[in-house]
Structure formats: structure tokens, C-alpha cells
């Protein structure tokens, strides 16, 4: 195996990172509003922290936090320090904050498998994936968008770096104890960012340490056995202490039980088990094929590839085995739901583990490239020079697909579209004229994109965006009853009771070309002038969502195709 040498050992990676950052800045630098619904939900969490109300559910009055808060807190802090609008920070900060993802990935790859493998792994990570979809679906890479699972990748890689540093130190030394504490702290921070890296990191660390403890026991090294078990306990306790600002809420929720599985069971259509043949065919590409060779090289016993760190193999194989196990189980759970209407518990969505499988794929790609390069008969000086050229050519060939991918060019178009809608105007009005405890009755679309983005409360949200710990059906039924009574003017006293029960203070009315499903409010009966008074109105210039026509399927994600041009109005409930 050949390794790079000299002062410029990391220069090729730095050049690739700069190229990726230039692309990110080009496509997000001039944007002020995020590109899709997840960010508007996340803005609600960040706004709640800005309002000094951490611990509350931003969307349901009286609820508590249920989503990993680190990224929301980080955005809230940047907003507070810079004075920039929350939406601008969410749109532009990711290009900078997410630089930690490829940097930590590269450092981990170098630590595990050497400089050449690390360089080619980083090139594969940055540029050789499938860029036709948003990155969080099926491509671990550098993205300028602050999806929590994107940023959380870097914390997982940093945790693995700390764990390998601990493993390199002599057993029982002070240095090893410090690295054990650091590993636990980073694991806890990763869990604060997203469930997937916390879960995966915990399993990898526990499996490796238990393997070492078992080996020490079989070899009658009782002292070392105790050390490994103590390290496992120390890492677990440190990680729980670090993640406690969120963990205390999750423990409380777990005792109450899960009433809404949709936030965990939702998955992109691309990754549904029914699309397995297409997914397998998509692996017939350069990086997956070369990565498969790299995996074989790590497994084989003859002419073995020797990693640069003794923990490289166990970390890699536990990592890959865990992600594949979760993906397999989740697919079986979805098949059971689709075929037999049985609900199997899914705690972390499938695509999050696909993300880490793809990251491991980049590592294996680097291993195969390193072995291939080691067979080239060149002097040390020529080898260092030409490995730069090989990595540069590989990056250059695939750079256009990265530049024009959905994360960059595609999301730029989507973000530009949202900034031209009524959403920014409504968000500004709601922020300036309402209180965080105010509850809105609105369409599901407005509940996410405008009401939710301001950290104000709604009667009901789409199930995939609502807390798992509050029953959805009673709220949905109450909304239907409220809308029916508002439009017909019948049962005013019952309407007042419902408003009081759910704390409704504002009602949003918007025009629709047809009654969408679920039922949305299109008019206010004239007899309700003593109950509802107009507070705000604006003209919506267009109603079609991202070019979809009026015959598009009627679902909440595409509900804009039925939301026509016309007047959007906000009414206030008169006490």
C-alpha cells in the first residue's frame, strides 16, 4: 500500500473541498429563503429557541420538544449573534457549517486506511455519488443545505476519530481515559443533532469494545477485560450526560407511548421496498462497483490490504453491518404495513442509514483505489505527483454532475420559487403581530410553511411533520368540524367551544380550485362577523406548485396545485 508524503500531503483534498465550496456558494449565496418544507418546520424549532422557550413543541400548544435540537439551536445562536433573519441563516449558513462533514470524513478515512485511500475516498464522497436527488435521500456528500442529518454526519465521523484515538493509546493510561471521555461527549453531541449518528455510533463503539473485552476474557487478561468494560460504561454515561438536554424529554415521551408513527415511517419514494429492483440497478455505477472490490479486499485473508489503524476493519464492518441490518428491517416493516396492515416499530427512517451506507461505500472506494495505485511502479516522488493528477482528473470528470445536481442547481430553483410566493409575506406578518402561544386554524400547507415556520401553534399538522407523541385523529376531526361550522355558520356556540378547547386565535382562509383532501377552509360565513374579524389580507399571484397543473394528485405535499391565485386572508377570533 502506497502513502503520500511531504508537506503537501493534504493539498489535493483541500483543492477538492474548495471546488465543492465554490459550487455551494454559487447556488446558495444569493438566496434568502429555504428550498423545501423541512426547513420551514425547522425554522419553527429555531424560532422557539430564539423566543427563549426551548423545551416546547413549536407546533402544538402545551407540547414538549420532540426533534433533536442541536442544529436548531445552532441556527438560533447564529441568528442572535449576527442579527440576520432566521430564514437567511438557514439558507446560507449550511455552506460553511457543513464543511465539517467532508473534513471529518477525510480525516477519518486517512486515519483508518492511509493518505491515498483517504484522498480517493474523499473524491468519491464529494463528487462520485448520485446527484440527481437531494443528498439526504441516497448520497453522503457535502451539501450547502442544513438538513440535520447532513450536518450530523460530521459529528459521527468526529466520534469515530476520537474512538480510534482512544484505541491507539495504551490501556489504562490517562490519555486513553481522556479520549474515552471525548468519545462519549462527541457521541452525545451527535445524538443531539440526529438519532441516526447517535444510534450507529453507539452500536459501533459498543460492538468493538465488547469484542475486545471478550477477546481479553478468552485470553485470561482480566485486567484488560475490566478496562474495556469500564470504557464502555464511561462512554455511555458521558454521552447520556451530553445529550441530556434532549434525552430527558425523549424518556418522558417514551413513557407516554407513540401515537403517530408517520414521522419515523415516512420515506422517499425512491427508497421504498417496492423500488428495490431500481435501487439495485442504480448500483451498477463506478463508485459502487469499485467499492465492492474494496470491501472484498478488506475481507480477504490472502494478500491482505493492511489498514493504517488496527481498529479499521472492526469499525468498518460493524458500521456496514449495522446500516444494512437497519435498512433490511425497515424494508420488512414497510412491506408488513403495505401487505398485512401491520405496524412494526421504526425508530429511525430508512434513508438515514442509506446515507451512512453510502459513506462507507466511499471508504471502500478509497481502499480499492489505494490498492490499485500501490501496484503502479513509480518512484516515491513520481507517485506523489501522479496520485494528485489521478485524483484531480477523477474529480474534474464528475464535478459537472455535482455542480448541476439537485442539491445545488435544483434546490436553487426551488428556493427561488418559494421566495416569490405568499410565504415570506405571511411569515413576516405572523412574526410581527402574534404571540408564540397563538394557535392558528389553517390549511396543512400553511401550518408547515408559514404558521409552523414562525413557531406559532396549529390545530393539526400533516402527520409526517407532527410530534409522534400526540394522537392525530382527534385534532384532525376537530379541524374538520371547525371548518364546516365556519363555512356554514351553524352551531356558533359549539364553534366557540372548539376554539377554546384548542386555543384558536387566528384563522387563515385561502382560495382553492377544488376542495382538497384533507378538507381546507375556503370561506367564512357572513353571520360570523361577531366571532371572526379580518386582520390581514394579500393577493396570491399564482397557485400552481412548481409547475404542477390542476390535475396533479391531491396530497398535502402538492396541495399548492389546488391553491389558486386570489386573496389570502387572516381572521382573528373575537373573545
C-alpha to C-alpha distance for 551 and 541, rounded to whole angstroms: 19
Pairing of strands 532-540, 566-573: antiparallel
Instruction: Place 526 in a pLDDT band, splitting at 50, 70 and 90.
Output: very high
CA distances from 391 to 14, 113, 208, 369, 450 (A): 12, 16, 32, 10, 45
Residue among 412, 394, 393, 396 nearest 404 (CA): 412
Chain segment 78-95, per-residue pLDDT in tens? 999 999 999 999 999 999
pLDDT of 5 above 60: no
Regarding predicted confidence, which is higher, 534 or 560?
534
Which residues, at least 6 apart from 78, have a Cβ–Cβ distance to it below 8 Å? 84, 89, 93
In angstroms, rounded to a whole number, what is the distance separating the alpha carbons of residues 444 and 461?
6
β-bridge pairing 532-540 and 439-441: unpaired
pLDDT tens sequence across 167-186: 999 988 999 999 999 999 99
User: Which residues does 471 contact at the CB level (< 8 Å), separation at least 6?
Assistant: 259, 260
In the predicted model, what is the mean pLDDT of residues 448-461? 95
Q: Is omega for the bond preceding 518 within 30 degrees of 0, making it cis?
A: yes
Q: Residue 382 pLDDT more than 80?
A: no
pLDDT digits (tens, 9 = 90+) for 303-321: 667 888 999 999 999 999 9
Distance of CA 118 to the CA centre of its chain: 25
User: What whole-number distance in Å separates Cα of residue 263 and Cα of residue 68?
Assistant: 13
Task: Enter the pTM of the model.
Answer: 0.92
Residue ranges of domains in the chain: 11-18+32-94+112-124+143-409, 422-573
Cα separation, 279 vs 354, in Å, equals: 11
* Ramachandran class of 526: left when φ > 0, alpha when ψ lies in -120 to 50, beta otherwise: alpha
pLDDT value, residue 519: 62
Q: What is the mean pLDDT of residues 288-295?
A: 92
User: 409 Cβ partners below 8 Å, 6+ apart?
Assistant: 27, 403
pLDDT-derived band at 106 (thresholds 50, 70, 90) equals very high
Spatial contact of 203 and 211, defined as CB atoms under 8 Å apart: no
Q: Which helix (H) or strand (E) holds 458?
A: strand 457-458
Using a pLDDT cut of 90, give the percent of the chain over it: 61
- Return contacts of 267-270, CB within 8 angstroms, 24+ apart: 267/330, 267/334, 267/349, 267/350, 267/351, 268/133, 268/137, 268/138, 268/351, 270/133, 270/137, 270/138
Is the pLDDT score of 65 beyond 70? yes
Q: What is the pLDDT of residues 392-408, one digit of tens each?
A: 899 999 999 999 998 99
Q: For all residues of the chain together, what is the average pLDDT?
A: 87
Amino acid at each position: 500500500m502506497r502513502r503520500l508524503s511531504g508537506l503537501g500531503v493534504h493539498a489535493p483534498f483541500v483543492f477538492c473541498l474548495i471546488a465543492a465550496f465554490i459550487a455551494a456558494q454559487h447556488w446558495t449565496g444569493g438566496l434568502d429563503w429555504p428550498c423545501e418544507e423541512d426547513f420551514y418546520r425547522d425554522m419553527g424549532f429555531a424560532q422557539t429557541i430564539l423566543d427563549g422557550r426551548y423545551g416546547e413543541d413549536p407546533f402544538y400548544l402545551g407540547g414538549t420538544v420532540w426533534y433533536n435540537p442541536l442544529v436548531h439551536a445552532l441556527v438560533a445562536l447564529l441568528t442572535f449573534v449576527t442579527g440576520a433573519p432566521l430564514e437567511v441563516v438557514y439558507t446560507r449558513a449550511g455552506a460553511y457549517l457543513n464543511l465539517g462533514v467532508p473534513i471529518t470524513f477525510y480525516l477519518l478515512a486517512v486515519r483508518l486506511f492511509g493518505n491515498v485511500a483517504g484522498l480517493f475516498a474523499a473524491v468519491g464522497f464529494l463528487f462520485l455519488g448520485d446527484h440527481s436527488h437531494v443528498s439526504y435521500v441516497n448520497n453522503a456528500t457535502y451539501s450547502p443545505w442544513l438538513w440535520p442529518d447532513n450536518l450530523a454526519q460530521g459529528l459521527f465521523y468526529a466520534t469515530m476519530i476520537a474512538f480510534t484515538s482512544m484505541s491507539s493509546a495504551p490501556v489504562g493510561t490517562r490519555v486513553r481515559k481522556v479520549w474515552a471521555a471525548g468519545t462519549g461527549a462527541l457521541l452525545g453531541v451527535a445524538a443531539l443533532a440526529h438519532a441516526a449518528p447517535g444510534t450507529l455510533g453507539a452500536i459501533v463503539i459498543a460492538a468493538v469494545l465488547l469484542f475486545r473485552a471478550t477477546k481479553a476474557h478468552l485470553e485470561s487478561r482480566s485486567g484488560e477485560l475490566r478496562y474495556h468494560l469500564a470504557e464502555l460504561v464511561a462512554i455511555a454515561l458521558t454521552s447520556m450526560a451530553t445529550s441530556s438536554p434532549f434525552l430527558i424529554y425523549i424518556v418522558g415521551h417514551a413513557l407516554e407511548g407513540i401515537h403517530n408513527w408517520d414521522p419515523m415511517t415516512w420515506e422517499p419514494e425512491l427508497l421504498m421496498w417496492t423500488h428495490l429492483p431500481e435501487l439495485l440497478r442504480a448500483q451498477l455505477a463506478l463508485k459502487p462497483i469499485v467499492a465492492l472490490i474494496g470491501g472484498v479486499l478488506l475481507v480477504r485473508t490472502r494478500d491482505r490490504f493492511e489498514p493504517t489503524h488496527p481498529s479499521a476493519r472492526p469499525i468498518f464492518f460493524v458500521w456496514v453491518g449495522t446500516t444494512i441490518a437497519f435498512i433490511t428491517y425497515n424494508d420488512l416493516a414497510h412491506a408488513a404495513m403495505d401487505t398485512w396492515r401491520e405496524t412494526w416499530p421504526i425508530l429511525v427512517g430508512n434513508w438515514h442509514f442509506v446515507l451512512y451506507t453510502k459513506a462507507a461505500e466511499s471508504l471502500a472506494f478509497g481502499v480499492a483505489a489505494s490498492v490499485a495505485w500501490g501496484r503502479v511502479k513509480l518512484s516515491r516522488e513520481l507517485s506523489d505527483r501522479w496520485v494528485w493528477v489521478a485524483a484531480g482528473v477523477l474529480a474534474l470528470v464528475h464535478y459537472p454532475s455535482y455542480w448541476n445536481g439537485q442539491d445545488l442547481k435544483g434546490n436553487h430553483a426551488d428556493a427561488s420559487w418559494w421566495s416569490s410566493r405568499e410565504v415570506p409575506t405571511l411569515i413576516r406578518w405572523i412574526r410581527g403581530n402574534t404571540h408564540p402561544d397563538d394557535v392558528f386554524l389553517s390549511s396543512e400547507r400553511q401550518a408547515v410553511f408559514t404558521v409552523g415556520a414562525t413557531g406559532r401553534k396549529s390545530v393539526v399538522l400533516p402527520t409526517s411533520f407532527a410530534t409522534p407523541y400526540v394522537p392525530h385523529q382527534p385534532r384532525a376531526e376537530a379541524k374538520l368540524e371547525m371548518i364546516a361550522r365556519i363555512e356554514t355558520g351553524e352551531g356558533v356556540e359549539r364553534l366557540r367551544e372548539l376554539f377554546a378547547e384548542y386555543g384558536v386565535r387566528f384563522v387563515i382562509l385561502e382560495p382553492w380550485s377544488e376542495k382538497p383532501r384533507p378538507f381546507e377552509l375556503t370561506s367564512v360565513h357572513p353571520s360570523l362577523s361577531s366571532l371572526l374579524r379580518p386582520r390581514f389580507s394579500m393577493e396570491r399571484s399564482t397557485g400552481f406548485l412548481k409547475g404542477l397543473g390542476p390535475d396533479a394528485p391531491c396530497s398535502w405535499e402538492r396541495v399548492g396545485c389546488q391553491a389558486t391565485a386570489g386573496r389570502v386572508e387572516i381572521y382573528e377570533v373575537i373573545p
